[in-house]
Structure 1
Amino acid sequence: MTDRTAVVLGGSLAGLLAARALAPFTDRVVVVERDVLPAGPEPRKGLPQARHVHHLWSGGARALEELLPGTVERLVSAGVRRVPVTTDMVALSPRGWYRRWAESAFTLTGSRDLVDWVVRERVLADERIELVTGTEAVGLLGSDRAVTGVRLRALGTGAEHVRTAGLVVDATGRGSRMPDWLARLGLPAAGFREVDSGIAYASRMFRAPAETVRAGFPIVTLQASPRDGRPGRGGVLMPIEDGRWLVTLHGSRGGEPGSADDDFLRYAREELDHPVIADLLAGAEPLTGVSVTRTTANRRHFYERARDWPENLAVLGDALCALNPVYGHGMSVAAQGALAVRDVLRRRGWGSPGLARSLQRAVSRPARAAWELSTGADVFYPGATEHGPGLRDRLAHAYVDRLLYTATGNGRIARRVTDVTSLERGAEVLLTPGVLLGALVGPLRPQLTRPPLTTDELKAAGVL
C-alpha cells in the first residue's frame, strides 16, 4: 500500500461516508458512481428505495456526527426532524401498544433524497475527495494476495480504463459483484446467507394537515409479525420535511399491498391490525402515486470469515450486509461501518500488514448486530429460509417476545429494548440480571387499549 490513493465504488451514503473516513489517511479518495448525482435533494435513478420510509437511528447519527461534525445540526436545519423515542412515537408491537416513555434514544426522519444530499455536500467539500460519475467498476486488478486497483467503464462511451489504488472499498450495495470478482482472482467463495421474509413495500407521499406541522406530530408505526401462519402486515406514517407525511405499508407473502392508488387507504384500514393510519390519512392530501418495492431480503456475505482475503480490499454497506428495510438499520450500519474504518486506520496506520482483514472484521461488527435483529424476526416468516427457524432461533424469539410484552408496561425494559433497536448498545444488555428479572415479572402497568395519541394530536389531524 505505497499508493496512497483509495478508490470507493458507490456514491450513496455508505460510499460517501467511507470516503470521509479514508480521507485523512490518503493523498486522494476517488468515489466512482454509476449515476449522475443530482445537485439538490432530488431523486436519483439508482436508488429506488428512496421512495420509502427511511430514518437514522441515534446509534447511526452519533457515528455520522463523529465522521462529519455538525452534520446532525445541518440535517435538522434542512428540515429533518429529531424525534425522541419513544416520546414522539406511537407504536403497536406484536404484544401491544408501547407507552410514550421519556426519551431514551432518538431517530432522525426525513426523505432519503434530503439526507443523501446534505451528507454528499459535506463530504465533497473535502478537496481530497473526488467524485467520478457515469462510471462503473467491471473488475479488480491484482491477485489473490493483493488488490492493486480497479477496471472502470464509462457508461456513455463504453470506454474502459484502469485506476490503481492502495485500497479499494466496495460500497455498491445489493448489486455488488464482489463474489464474481473474487472468484476471478482465484479466491474461494465466502460464506453467504439469505433470509427473505417476502415483505413487499408500498409507499405514498401526503400533504399533512397544517395543524400537525405547526404542532409537531409523532411517528406512527404498526409492526408486522407472522402469527398463526398468517402473513405479517404493518405500516409507518412518518412526518418529514416540507409539511409532508411519507407513508409505507408492508406485507409478507400472501398479504402484500398493491400498487393501485385507490387501494392504499383500503389496505391501511382493513388489512392492518389497527386502522389508526387510515384514520389519520383521511385528513391528508395525496401528493404522489403508490411506489412498490419487493427487494427486501436480508443478505449477508461473511467476508470476515474468509480463509484467504487479499490485501487492499474492503466491502461494506449493503454490499456486505443488506437488511430488510422495515427495521430502519441500513443507514445507521453504513455510518457505523465507516466509523469503524476510520478507527482501524487510526490504530493500525495506512499500509500496515493485514490491514484489509482488520478493516473487514471491523465493519462486520455493526453489520452483525443489525443482522441478528433483522433475521431474528424474519426467519419466522413462511419461506424465509429453506429449513425454517432452528432451536436457537425459537428460544431467542420467545425471550424477545416476552421483552416486548414487558416493555408495553415497564419503562426501564422499554429503554433497554430501545437501546438495542437504536444500535446504541449491543444485545448483551438484554441479558443482564435486571432485564432478566424484569422479563420474568412482566409489565408493571396495564396494557393500553388504543393508540397513545393525545387529544390535541387527534384534533390537529382532523380525527376529532
Structure 2
Amino acid sequence: MRGETAVVLGGSVAGLCAAGVLARHFDEVIVLERDQLPPDAKHRRGVPQSKHPHFLLNSGRRAIGEIFPGFEEALIAAGGLHLMPSMDAAYCESGGWAPRKSGSMTMVYSSRVLIERVLRDKVRELPAVEVREGVTVTGLRTSGGGTERGRVVGVDYRVDDTPGRLAADMVVDALGRGSSVADWLVEAGWSAPPEKTLDARVTYTSRWYDLPPAGRRPESWWWKHLVVTPTQDAGDHPEEHEFLSNFFPIEGDRAIVCMGAWGIRMPRDADAFEKAVDRVRAAAFGRATRACTPTSEVHLTRSTGNKWRRYDLLERPPLGLVCIGDSICAFNPFYAQGMSSAARSALVLAELLHDHTVLDLAFYRDFLARQKKSLDVPWMLAMARDQAYDFATGSEIVAPWRRRLAARLSWPVFNAINATSREDAYVERTFAEVFNLDRSLRDMATDPRFWFGILRYRIRQRLGRTVVPGGFDDQQDPPGTDYTDYTGFANRTDRTGPGGAGASPSAEADLVHD
C-alpha cells in the first residue's frame, strides 16, 4: 500500500477512474461528490454536458477497461451500441455522401449518463472505495505551502451547513473546468500554474429524440449515425451549412441530435432548433430528425474553450496532489477528447503508483511529466483546428499568416486523408490511431509512408484510376452500397475509373497486405 487514505474530489468520469486506480494502493478511497448520484442513467446538475453526445475514443475504452475489467461488456449489456463507423454511419463530406465500407475502427455509442452509471456500478464493487454524496469541497488542508516539501494533507468540506475535514495521503482534483484547487493552492503559498488557453467561440446545441419503432423506419435507414460536416463553399449559403451536425445513436432506441459551429449563434428553443435541422445542407438530416419524436428541451453549451493548467511547469509542485480530467486540461468538447484523456491520465497514475514505492517529489514530478506527454496528443489536435479562426482568443493564438495557412489547408488535407483512406489501409489506420489518441498528430505529420499514400492516391485520382466512388448527392439519402470489396490499388490495366467496368472486388488483397 502507498498510503492509508486517498480523497477524490468529484464523482464524474475522471474521479471514478481515479478511484478505481487508487483502490489498489490505498486502504481507503473516499470520493466526495456534490450531487446526489442517481441510481440509474439520469442527468444531474454537476454534469450539464451529459445532455450532449459523447464519444468514448478507443484509447479511452482501453484505459477504462484496464482500470475496470469488463467495463465495455457491461456498457454494451446496458444498451451501448458497438458499431463500426465506416459501415454504420453515413458521412456527408465536402463533396457529398462518402462511400460505405469496412474500416479498422469500432466505437461504443451511448449517452454520457449511461457511461457514468456503468462506472459507478464498477466502483461500488470495490470494497476500499466509499462515495459520499451531497458534499461540497470548500478548501485544501496543506503544510509548507510553496516550499520544496509543501504538501496537500487533506480537504475541508461542507454537508449542508455542517463543516468537516478529512486527512489524506493523496488528494485527486477531478472537479472539472470550474475547479478552485489552483486558487486554494495560491492562498496556501504556491505559485499559480501557468495556463495555456484558446477559445474559438464554439457553441453547440442538442435535443434528445425517440426513434420510430423498428418496423416503421424508412427503408433508407441502413445507418445508425449521421454526420454532416460544414460546407466548404465560399459562396452565399444559409449559416446552417456551416454547422457540424450529428444524429448520434444512444441506448434505448434513442438519438441525440446535435448541431454546432465556430462563431455562430445557435438555436436555443425548440422552434428554432426544428427549423435549423431542416436547413442543414444534407437533406436527410432534417428528414431523419422530423421522423423522430422529441423527448427533451433544447440544451445549449458555450463553455468550450481549451484550457491547460501547467502544473508540470511549477518549480515546486504541491506534493500529495494529482489533477485529472478537465481540472488540469479541458478541451473544446466538439473534439470528443475529454473522457478519454481523463481515463488516460488515470492510467498514467496507475503506472506510477506501481513503479514508485514512496510518494515523494520524484513521484509527483514523474507523474506530471508523463501526464504532460499524454495530454500533448489531444492538445495538439485541438490547437490544429481552433487556431485557424480569426476570432479565437487566448494565449495560444498564432500569427495571422499561420491562421490563414491553417484555415486554407485544414479542410483540403482532411478531405485528402478521407478520400485516400477509402483505398489505402495504412492511411486509414494511421488516421484512426490519431483520431483515437493512440498516435500523435506530430507522428502522422512526419510519417513518409502516410504522405506517400496520399500523394499516390491523388496521382491515381488525376489519372482516373481510383476504385471507390464518392461525392454522392447530399440532397438524396446516403447510399447503402457496401464498397468494401472494391477497395484496392488501381495498379492493373483493367481499371477504368471510379466504380467503372473492371473495378474488380479481388483488388482488396492489394490493399489489406500493403
Counterparts of 1:423 and 1:63, CA distance in 2: 12
Shift of 1:348: 1.7
- Of structures 1 and 2, the larger Rg is shown by 2
1:232-271 to structure 2, matched below 5 A, reads: 232-253=242-263, 255-270=264-279
Give the number of aligned pairs.
Answer: 454
Counterparts of 2:230 and 2:30, CA distance in 1: 41
User: Residue 226 of structure 1 contacts residue 380 of structure 1 at CA under 8 Å; is this kept in 2?
Assistant: no
1:317-357, Cα deviation, whole Å (9 max, x unpaired):
00011111111111111111111110111112342442122
% same residue = 28
Matched position secondary structure for 2:207: strand
Amino acid at match of 1:263: A
Q: 1:350 to 1:72 in 2, by over 3 A?
A: farther
Amino acid at match of 2:123: V
| 1:448 lines up with 2:468 in the alignment | no
1:11-410 to structure 2, matched below 5 A, reads: 11-93=11-93, 97-142=97-142, 143-144=145-146, 145-157=149-161, 159-211=162-214, 217-224=223-230, 232-253=242-263, 255-270=264-279, 272-385=280-393, 388-390=397-399, 400-410=410-420
Q: 1:213 to 1:341 in 2, by over 3 A?
A: farther
Counterparts of 1:351 and 1:213, CA distance in 2: 59
One of 429, 432, 441 as aligned partner of 2:447: 432
Q: 1:352 to 1:6 in 2, by over 3 A?
A: same
1:214-270, Cα deviation, whole Å (9 max, x unpaired):
9873321123489869974211111111111111111232x2221121121221222
User: Residue 104 of structure 1 contacts residue 419 of structure 1 at CA under 8 Å; is this kept in 2?
Assistant: no
Q: 1:147 to 1:275 in 2, by over 3 A?
A: farther
Matched position secondary structure for 2:100: coil
1:149-169, Cα deviation, whole Å (9 max, x unpaired):
333222412x22221111111
Counterparts of 1:39 and 1:74, CA distance in 2: 16
Amino acid at match of 1:333: S
Counterparts of 1:185 and 1:93, CA distance in 2: 52
User: Residue 319 of structure 2 contacts residue 360 of structure 2 at CA under 8 Å; is this kept in 1?
Assistant: no
Counterparts of 2:178 and 2:281, CA distance in 1: 34
Counterparts of 1:213 and 1:370, CA distance in 2: 38
Q: Any stretches of 5+ residues in structure 2 without a counterpart?
A: 483-514
TM-score (norm 1): 0.90
TM-score (norm 2): 0.82
Alignment match, 1:462: none
Alignment match, 1:460: none
User: Residue 311 of structure 1 contacts residue 356 of structure 1 at CA under 8 Å; is this kept in 2?
Assistant: yes
Counterparts of 2:177 and 2:184, CA distance in 1: 15
Counterparts of 2:81 and 2:276, CA distance in 1: 27
Q: Any stretches of 5+ residues in structure 1 without a counterpart?
A: 458-464
Counterparts of 2:154 and 2:287, CA distance in 1: 53
Counterparts of 1:416 and 1:151, CA distance in 2: 44
User: Residue 99 of structure 1 contacts residue 408 of structure 1 at CA under 8 Å; is this kept in 2?
Assistant: no
Shift of 1:85: 3.1
User: Residue 472 of structure 2 contacts residue 478 of structure 2 at CA under 8 Å; is this kept in 1?
Assistant: no
1:42-63, Cα deviation, whole Å (9 max, x unpaired):
1111111101111201111011
Q: 1:146 to 1:389 in 2, by over 3 A?
A: same
Matched position secondary structure for 1:409: helix
Alignment match, 1:418: 432
Matched position secondary structure for 2:300: strand
Q: 1:164 to 1:236 in 2, by over 3 A?
A: same
